[in-house]
Amino acid sequence: MSIKAPIVLAVDTSDLSTAISWVKATNDIVSVYKLGLEFFLTFGAEGVKAITGNTDADIFLDLKLHDIAHTVTGAAQAVSGLRPKFLTVHASGGSAMIRAAADALPATFVTGVTILTSLSEKDVADIGYRDNALDSAVRLATLATAAGARAIVCSPLEILAIRQSVGDEVTIITPGVRPADSSSSDDQVRTMTPREAIDRGANFVVIGRPITQFWQHGPDAMRARAIEIAQQIL
């Protein structure tokens, strides 16, 4: 494809050679690769370098840091050499923690995670949030961006309200999307299609299994599926 789609591909696998193969199969389609906690704890910095060595796409290091400010500063500095485009922190960690991450990684888009898309309204209430998922996500996004976060992760159902709250300069990344022809919502509760999420104001959509499950049929099948979904968005 001549233009990469605003897709963040979730590289969720415990096999590094498979991860590299996924990248090679989709490198001209996908804009960002998401490397999560399991990936990082399994392969470490060398695993990240193995991915960056096979793509010119940006890296979304999804570690969801959540600790005291001093510890988050050290953690952010520890991954600075990997030069991730995005690094996630839990917005519920508070202003000082978010600011610590942003100060430690000025070239990275520190990304505030609001309310996990796997949580239902009942889950949000059970955890102890005073407001519903929408209002809680807006509150957390506003707090995070005021503290220096340059990107936000939120459910597609919260995009419009968060965009109105944080403005156009903030990057919004949304998981919880499923292609219109997908029959499963997996572990996501608050979902919509990728095209709907982009139309509402998301900059990127996170997609994993709807693409990577096609790997079982070979790299060409996975690539073809990635192109299908990209064409639904572009």
Fill in the amino acid letter for 173: I
CA distance 149 to 5: 24
CB atoms within 10 A of CB 158: 27
Sign of CA dihedral 165, 167, 173, 175: positive
Contacts of 118 (CB under 8 A, 6+ apart): 187, 188, 189
CB atoms within 10 A of CB 174: 29
Catalytic residues: 64
Alpha-carbon Rg for the chain in angstroms = 17
> Which residue's entry shows tokens 């922190």?
89
